[in-house]
Structure formats: C-alpha cells, structure tokens
Chains A and B, each alone.
Chain A
Amino acid sequence: MARAASSAKSASRGKGGGARAGSRSKGGGKTAAARPNIPDFTRDEELRAYHDMLLIRRFEEKAGQMYGMGLIGGFCHLYIGQEAVVTGVTMAADPADASITSYRDHGHMLAVGIDPKGVMAELTGRRDGLSKGKGGSMHMFSLEKRFYGGNGIVGAQVSLGTGIAFAARYRGDDTVTLTYFGDGASNQGQVYESFNMAKLWNLPVVYIIENNKYAMGTSLERSSAQTDLSQRGASFNIPGEQVDGMDVRHVRDAAQRAIAHARSGKGPYILEMLTYRYRGHSMSDPAKYRSKDEVQSMRSEHDPIEQVKARILKNGFASDAELKEIEKQIRAQVTEAADFASVSPEPDPSELWTDVVVEGA
C-alpha cells in the first residue's frame, strides 16, 4: 500500500511522549494525574495519520456503496468514525507486532498495510480476495502482516489474541499482540478468563477496547454494570486507561505506553478507546436506537479526520491543495480496489473442497 508522505514509525518501543491529556490511567492499583498537554504530532505523523484514516474512510464508504449495489453480501460492518483508533495504535506499534480483531475488521487490515484490493475482493467473494473468497467480510487474515482476523464470534478474538501473545512469550520473540474488541464483547466471559491468564503469565498483549457506545443496538449503559471499561482489568491487576479515541494523538500516545509496558515483560495493558461509529452496527442496521443529533454532533465536533485536517492546515504542514491531492490519490486507490474486486472472477468451484484440512498430513 502506498502511504502518504510519511515514513515515521516513531517511538515504537520508546516510552510514550510526555503529555497525555484526554487519557487517564486507572486500575491495577495505578493512578495517574491527568496531564494537560496534548502530545503533538510532527508534520510527517499528521500527514500519515490523515492519509491512513482517510483511506479507511473512503474504503468503507465505497464498501457501503458496493453493498448497496449487491456486490457485497452477508454482513458488512463499517469502521467509519473509529478510524483514529486503529491508526493511532498502529503508529505506536512495531511492524512485527501481531494484531487481531472482531468482524469490524476492514480498517485494521488497511492500517497494517494490507492491499485494499485483496480486502475488497474478499468482500465481493472473489478469488483474488485475501481468503480466496472463502472468508468474506468477517474472516480475513494475513500471516505476512501478522493480522489474525477478522473473527465472527464476539469475544473469541480476545482469547485467541492472548494465545498469540502466549506464543510470543514462549518463543521469546519480543513482539506484542494488539487485541481489539468492542464494548459489547467486553461483557463476554472468555474475556475475563483471558485477562486472568494474561496477567498470571504476564503475556505481551495490549487489549484495546473500542468503545463505540453501542453493542449492536444496546447502549453501554443498558448492558454494563461498570461502564468505565478501562477498569475491567482491575481485579486482575491489569492497568487500564480511558483514551479519547477520536483524537489520533491521544490514541498513539496511550498505545505507546501500553505497548512499551507489554513489551517490557510487565504483562497486559488495557486501553479503552472512547470512540463512535457513524453507521449502523452492520449495513442492515438502521440504527434507530440513537438520535440523528447524537450522530451529527459527533461527526461535526469530534470527527477524527477533520481534527487532523484542521491541525495540518493551521500549522501549515500542507496546503488545502496538497490535502486535496492526497484525497484524490486515495479515491483513485479505492476505485481501483473496487474495480478489481468487481472483475476478479469468483473462486473456481473446485475451491469448495480445498483448505478444509492441510492435505498430505
């Protein structure tokens, strides 16, 4: 994937840069005073964040269109609104780190650098898709990028991600596993079974709870006795922070801290990302459980991409015309992916019978 003007993979192992306004550390017996300063990005970092988030936004919009045209079937869960979470975390991670998430996974794949063509062709169920068309929207993987899905069962990826971290510790390979899940999954029993073992064995895993406030149609308040999800590791002595998940700077800052903690052998860390999805739970969800005003105010006041764009312009990191050029490149890339996914042939019927088991075993 072509990235915009940035090669900055800054401070992937370093301690988080000083300021952490908008994030508070709790749990695990730790407390941290709120720090007023916002951790500023460099020009390259701002441009990378802008590019990566915009790519996810435009890709998801296109996926929504293609779903409407009947090119994508089944379930399709869009990431629009939450782009800062995976973008900021990825900026803090090392390319060798593993990641795993739920079925709302398209953005995670783009963020770690998986070719949009392969993602879109999987959405359309074609042979050039990441899973040869056999996985679909919810089940995509890339061993090359150490992306372990794409998991359709709510909460299952939390145990699986903990297991990937177990393998890292077993091998002593110094990688961290970034395990993403939603506020809905945070009520699943296996999440706590995994928290317990992750801390018991001090596994290098960062749990990133993408709290978009609604588990499908059920608000956090209606489903959770303790709505501060960063506290959910407290009884396992896992530190946690609530983070402004709409501001990519806060996300990266907190993620640097969490990843450094996990990599240093201190065990798991929880980041509760306060975020918001603009679309329904899936394409077939009209999202009537929340008001249009609520959605509109998030979009107009907290949009992660608009925040970055405003800073770039204000700081003179790029001109309006230069940003438009980035946008144009992204639109071309997304259109190319969509065209590719539309013309890629369906899988050969013989593929029905392949990959059930490893043959010749």
Chain B
Amino acid sequence: MPTDILMPALSPTMEEGTLAKWLVREGDKVAPGDVICEIETDKATMEVEAVDEGTIGKIVVDAGSENVAVNSTIAILLEEGEDPSSIGETTSAHASPAPGPSAAPVDEQAAVAPAAPVTEGPGGAPVMEVAQDPDLPEDVEFVDMSVRQALNEAMSEEMRADPDVFLMGEEVAQYQGAYKVSQGMLEEFGDKRVLDTPITEHGFTGIGVGAAFAGLKPIVEFMTFNFAMQAIDQIINSAAKQLYMSGGQVAAPIVFRGANGPASRVAAQHSQDFTAWYSHVPGLTVIAPYSAADAKGLLKAAIRSPNPVVFLENELLYGVSFPVPRMDDFVLPIGRARIVRPGRDVTIVSFSMGMKYATEATERLVAEGVDVELIDLRTIRPMDSATIVESVKKTGRCVVVEEGWPQGSVGSEVSARIMEQAFDYLDAPVMRITGKDVPMPYAANLEKLALPNADEVIAAVNAVTYRT
C-alpha cells in the first residue's frame, strides 16, 4: 500500500512550518536516508530523509508552501510494483515518520501551545479590552512582533549603544542561538561581543560575573534555566551578594537570561519554573515578562541596570507575537506591575506563561459578567506590592496563577503580602493556582494535568467570589 510521507516536527513545540524545497521529483526512486526535501521554521532548517524505499508517487505539498501543519501528508511513497492509481488508498493514520509530541491529537497540541493574546471572542465580539501600559505615550504606534524578535532587538539596541555590553553563552554566536534569539547578532557585532562558550555553565557564569566586577556588562544566556543550576553558586554567592559584601564598592551589572519554565514534553529535568527560587535572593532583580513589549522594554532596562538581573523567558512564548510599541528607545521601568484589565470583582495576579491561563480565564469570566482585574507582575523582585494591594482593596478577592510549584511559590509571597497589608479588605482567602507539586511527567496526559489551566483559574475565581 502507498505510504504517506508526513510533515515532521523539528522540535517538541513546532506546530507548522514551511516546505522550502523538494530535492526529488515525482517518479524518483528513493532509499532510506536519501534527503527528499527541506523544511523550515522560524528557528531552524532541516533536511527530511526518506525512511522507506520506494518511488515518489505524488508530491502533495508544493515547494515554498508555508504554514504546513505537522503530521499532514506532504508526499506519497509507492512501494515496488505499486502504481500511482493506488494512491487513494492511503490515510494519514499510517506510517508517521516523526513519532513524538507532534503525533499527539490536535486538541492537546492546542492546549500546551501558547495562544496569542486574543482580544476578540467568538464571532469577533470584543470581550476583553487590554489596557494600555501607562508607561507608554498615549499616541504610540504598535507593530506586531514575536517575543524572540523583541529580545533580539533589545539586546542589539543596547549593544549598539554601549560597547561594554556583550553576549556569551552556548550556541549564541555561530548557531545563531539554540532558540534563535541571537539570530544575526554575530554578524552585526562580531565574535568579540557575541561569544560561543563551551558547555560549562559554572565556569562561564563565573567568568561573566568576574567581567561584570571589572566593569563590563555581560549578558549571559543560559540555553535554559535548568542548566543554570550548574551555575547557581556564581549567580547567588558571587553576583547577588557582591555589592553588599564589599560595602558598596563592587557592583555586578550582569544579566542572566534564557528560557525558564515548563516547556513541552521534555519532562522533569528540562521543564520547571525557577522564578520563586531566584526571587528569594536579596541583591538580585528578577524579571519574568509575558508579552513581547514587556520582553523588549524590560530586557533593555535589565541590561542598563547596575544590578545583577535574572531575566526569565519562556521557550513556548518565543514564537508568539504581540503588539510592541514602535519607539526609538523603548525602555520600561523595572519593578512595576501592569494592570492588563481593570475590574472590580476579583483580582487575578500572574506573570510569564501564567498570564496565558490568566488571560484565557479572564476572557471567559468577563463574558460571564465577572469584572476581573488582571495584573501582570512582570518584575518578581522587587515586587510591586502596591499595585496588588490597591487592587485587592477594591476587589476583596485574589487568585494568583503561575506554573511553578506551590510551596514557597510567588503566589505564596503574594498571598502573604495581601494578608499582611490588606487583611481587612479580604472577602475570601487568597487562592493559588500553580503547577502541581510533582516533578514534570513526560506522558502528554500527565503533563497536561501537571500544568495549571484556565478551568482551574475559573474554578478558583468562582470559589473566592462564592459563585459556586
């Protein structure tokens, strides 16, 4: 029977890609290992090899096609003795060349992949108006930009402005970044300022911190913050404490940045949120943006900061686009939360990927008539207590949403602050929606259960507003 050749996934999070080029034509014979086509995403290019022997019976997706869904049939392979008339027999249920996360049912893909911030409900009716950031000029223009591009622009702009700023990390230069965040930067800035390091987090982090002591402004990229565990001694014992230990003499102007938080189907050691860990440490600034605008404005601020900054990105957000203000020098203040949607009934506080669940829940709750106030913390340390407390004084209720574990979480800290500073205003206990208190499982269904979701947020809001 003819075999479908399916669009493969290049990464656990890829949903679609471009079929750049065919290297075979209909009627060509192929053997396993022969390169038959090239596919691309915004992160990478890959050659697709034939898995089985046979003849290319039909090319289904033309070269140059964009947005080809993972697992869709791109060509049909005929076994020896088959002729093209048998092509109708195939179904896409056969012979997947790319087993793995992309083989998961489509609705599960949608559940783990981030949605762009939607401002329109079904049928185009607006359900949630996103409040403009008060730190921006009122008449500013916006342009859609991915988080990846926003981070790249932030670093590039700061490196153009200040020769003391440089980027170091694994695969940041020639490979163009493991997640392509530093794409093009080697070409622009050269190998003196964009440095590939060996895979030695402890060592290169210490080197970065030492360079900061000596007055440079390093940006140290961790491929993911899971690997920063190897280097956490230098981040905390050297960078965070240096100013204090030296009686104010020696500062550490350095940015540690990279992907943090659960990724997709990479299991316990590569899928966890370190926000609460770093936020515990005096001397560090901890930033965890959700939108591309915040990613850009706050990374620029982080690079300019004279203090060590832990800048926590999210792999699943790199490819998501948001409106970013078109400004010559767009810098946001560190330490200020943003009221994304003002409301009177309940406060939802979140940050980073937690904002995805919080935003989705807010949209659905608003549609049901609940007037939610949604706050994006953006900076976790120093935490903008005032914005949270003012909001709770108005709403009397609060739900905190994050992907990290519950004990000692950011939500725990927010809860304590509200209890201390707004106890008399509370009409219900503060509730935390967090990642479950388990290492991240691999199985798709268990992973989904381990992560928070909008339903849990809505249930918590219903509980604190006594709607159930």
Q: Pick the residue among B192, B207, B245, B283 that contacts A162 (CB under 8 A).
A: B207
B468: A residues at CB distance < 8 A: none
The answer, yes or no, to whether B215 is at the interface (CB within 8 Å) is yes
Interface segment out of the listed A47-55, A134-142, A240-248, A335-343 = A134-142
A153: B residues at CB distance < 8 A: 233, 237-238
Q: How near does chain B come to A96, taking the closest CB pair, in angstroms?
A: 12
Contact B305 A159 (CB under 8 A): no
The answer, yes or no, to whether A358 is at the interface (CB within 8 Å) is yes
Contact of A167 with B250 at beta-carbon distance under 8 Å, contacts A153-B237, A156-B234 already known: no
Q: How near does chain B come to A141, taking the closest CB pair, in angstroms?
A: 4
A192: B residues at CB distance < 8 A: 203
The answer, yes or no, to whether B202 is at the interface (CB within 8 Å) is yes
Contact of A193 with B198 at beta-carbon distance under 8 Å, contacts A151-B238, A164-B214 already known: yes
Interface of chain B residues 236 through 259 with chain A (CB within 8 A): 237-238, 243-251
Give the complex CA separation of A189 and B203 in angstroms. 8
Which residue of chain B is the closest to A130 with respect to CB atoms?
B247
The answer, yes or no, to whether A355 is at the interface (CB within 8 Å) is yes
The answer, yes or no, to whether A160 is at the interface (CB within 8 Å) is yes
Q: Pick the residue among A167, A193, A355 that contacts B210 (CB under 8 A).
A: A167
Number of A residues with CB within 8 Å of any CB on chain B: 48
Contact B202 A162 (CB under 8 A): no
Which residue of chain B is the closest to A158 with respect to CB atoms?
B206
Which residue of chain B is the closest to A200 with respect to CB atoms?
B198
The answer, yes or no, to whether B176 is at the interface (CB within 8 Å) is no
A141: B residues at CB distance < 8 A: 245-246, 249-250
Q: Mark B263-305, 1 if CB is under 8 A from A, else 0.
A: 0000000000000000000110100000000000000000001
Q: Pick the residue among A142, A159, A189 that contacts B207 (CB under 8 A).
A: A159
Contact of A356 with B244 at beta-carbon distance under 8 Å, contacts A156-B238, A166-B210, A200-B198 already known: yes
Which residue of chain B is the closest to A188 with respect to CB atoms?
B202
The answer, yes or no, to whether A265 is at the interface (CB within 8 Å) is no
Interface of chain B residues 174 through 204 with chain A (CB within 8 A): 192, 197-198, 200, 202-204
Give the complex CA separation of A170 and B159 in angstroms. 14
Number of B residues with CB within 8 Å of any CB on chain A: 40
The answer, yes or no, to whether A344 is at the interface (CB within 8 Å) is no
Contact of A156 with B233 at beta-carbon distance under 8 Å, contacts A143-B249, A197-B198, A197-B200 already known: yes
The answer, yes or no, to whether A307 is at the interface (CB within 8 Å) is no
Contact B283 A356 (CB under 8 A): yes
Which residue of chain B is the closest to A190 with respect to CB atoms?
B202
Give the complex CA separation of A161 and B206 in angstroms. 8
Give the complex CA separation of A115 and B325 in angstroms. 53
Contact of A167 with B237 at beta-carbon distance under 8 Å, contacts A357-B243, A358-B306 already known: no
The answer, yes or no, to whether A354 is at the interface (CB within 8 Å) is yes
The answer, yes or no, to whether A129 is at the interface (CB within 8 Å) is yes
Contact A167 B205 (CB under 8 A): no
Which residue of chain B is the closest to A138 with respect to CB atoms?
B245
B244: A residues at CB distance < 8 A: 134, 355-356
Q: Pick the residue among B197, B198, B249, B283 that contacts A357 (CB under 8 A).
A: B283
A356: B residues at CB distance < 8 A: 243-244, 282-283
Contact B204 A193 (CB under 8 A): yes
The answer, yes or no, to whether A214 is at the interface (CB within 8 Å) is no
Contact B211 A159 (CB under 8 A): no
Q: Mark B20-45, 1 if CB is under 8 A from A, else 0.
A: 00000000000000000000000000
The answer, yes or no, to whether B213 is at the interface (CB within 8 Å) is yes
The answer, yes or no, to whether A196 is at the interface (CB within 8 Å) is yes
The answer, yes or no, to whether B454 is at the interface (CB within 8 Å) is no
Give the complex CA separation of A298 and B192 in angstroms. 48
Give the complex CA separation of A25 and B430 in angstroms. 67
B204: A residues at CB distance < 8 A: 159, 193, 197
Contact A193 B245 (CB under 8 A): no
The answer, yes or no, to whether A76 is at the interface (CB within 8 Å) is no
Q: Pick the residue among B205, B206, B209, B245 that contacts A139 (CB under 8 A).
A: B245
Of B166, B246, B307, chain A has the most CB atoms within 10 Å of the CB of B246
Q: How near does chain A come to B68, taking the closest CB pair, in angstroms?
A: 41
Q: Mark B109-134, 1 if CB is under 8 A from A, else 0.
A: 00000000000000000000000000
B216: A residues at CB distance < 8 A: 166-167, 170-171
B305: A residues at CB distance < 8 A: 358, 361
The answer, yes or no, to whether A275 is at the interface (CB within 8 Å) is no
The answer, yes or no, to whether B208 is at the interface (CB within 8 Å) is yes
Contact of A357 with B307 at beta-carbon distance under 8 Å, contacts A170-B192, A193-B202 already known: yes
The answer, yes or no, to whether A152 is at the interface (CB within 8 Å) is yes
Contact of A170 with B211 at beta-carbon distance under 8 Å, contacts A132-B248, A134-B245 already known: yes
Q: How near does chain A come to B381, taking the closest CB pair, in angstroms?
A: 10
B215: A residues at CB distance < 8 A: 167
Q: Pick the residue among B202, B248, B249 that contacts A189 (CB under 8 A).
A: B202
The answer, yes or no, to whether A194 is at the interface (CB within 8 Å) is yes
Contact B238 A193 (CB under 8 A): no
Give the complex CA separation of A22 and B207 in angstroms. 33
The answer, yes or no, to whether A59 is at the interface (CB within 8 Å) is no
Which residue of chain B is the closest to A175 with respect to CB atoms?
B214
Which residue of chain B is the closest to A160 with respect to CB atoms?
B210
Which residue of chain A is the closest to B197 with respect to CB atoms?
A197
The answer, yes or no, to whether A163 is at the interface (CB within 8 Å) is yes
A167: B residues at CB distance < 8 A: 210-211, 214-216
A358: B residues at CB distance < 8 A: 243, 251, 305-307
Give the complex CA separation of A354 and B204 in angstroms. 29
Contact A355 B214 (CB under 8 A): no
Q: How near does chain B come to A235, taking the closest CB pair, in angstroms?
A: 13
The answer, yes or no, to whether A330 is at the interface (CB within 8 Å) is no
The answer, yes or no, to whether A168 is at the interface (CB within 8 Å) is yes
Give the complex CA separation of A189 and B204 in angstroms. 12
Q: How near does chain B come to A344, taking the closest CB pair, in angstroms?
A: 13
Give the complex CA separation of A163 and B334 in angstroms. 27
Give the complex CA separation of A298 and B212 in angstroms. 41
A156: B residues at CB distance < 8 A: 206, 233-234, 237-238
Which residue of chain A is the closest to B284 with respect to CB atoms?
A357
Q: Pick the residue among B166, B233, B246, B248 that contacts A170 (CB under 8 A).
A: B166
Contact of A160 with B238 at beta-carbon distance under 8 Å, contacts A167-B210, A170-B192 already known: yes
Contact B246 A131 (CB under 8 A): yes
Which residue of chain A is the closest to B198 with respect to CB atoms?
A196
Contact of A357 with B248 at beta-carbon distance under 8 Å, contacts A159-B205, A164-B214 already known: no
Q: Mark A160-201, 1 if CB is under 8 A from B, else 0.
A: 111111111011000000000000000001101110110010
A-B contact pairs, 15 of them (CB 8 A): A132-B247, A141-B249, A153-B237, A158-B206, A159-B205, A160-B213, A160-B234, A163-B209, A189-B202, A193-B200, A194-B207, A196-B198, A197-B198, A357-B243, A361-B305
Having A150-B245, A159-B206, A159-B207, one finds 4 other A-B pairs with CB under 8 Å, namely: A135-B245, A149-B245, A355-B246, A358-B306
Interface of A toward B, CB cutoff 8 Å: 98, 100, 129-135, 139-143, 148-153, 156, 158-168, 170-171, 189-190, 192-194, 196-197, 200, 354-358, 361
Listed from nearest, the 10 A-B pairs whose CB atoms lie closest are A163-B210, A159-B206, A193-B203, A132-B247, A167-B214, A193-B200, A160-B210, A131-B247, A163-B207, A358-B306
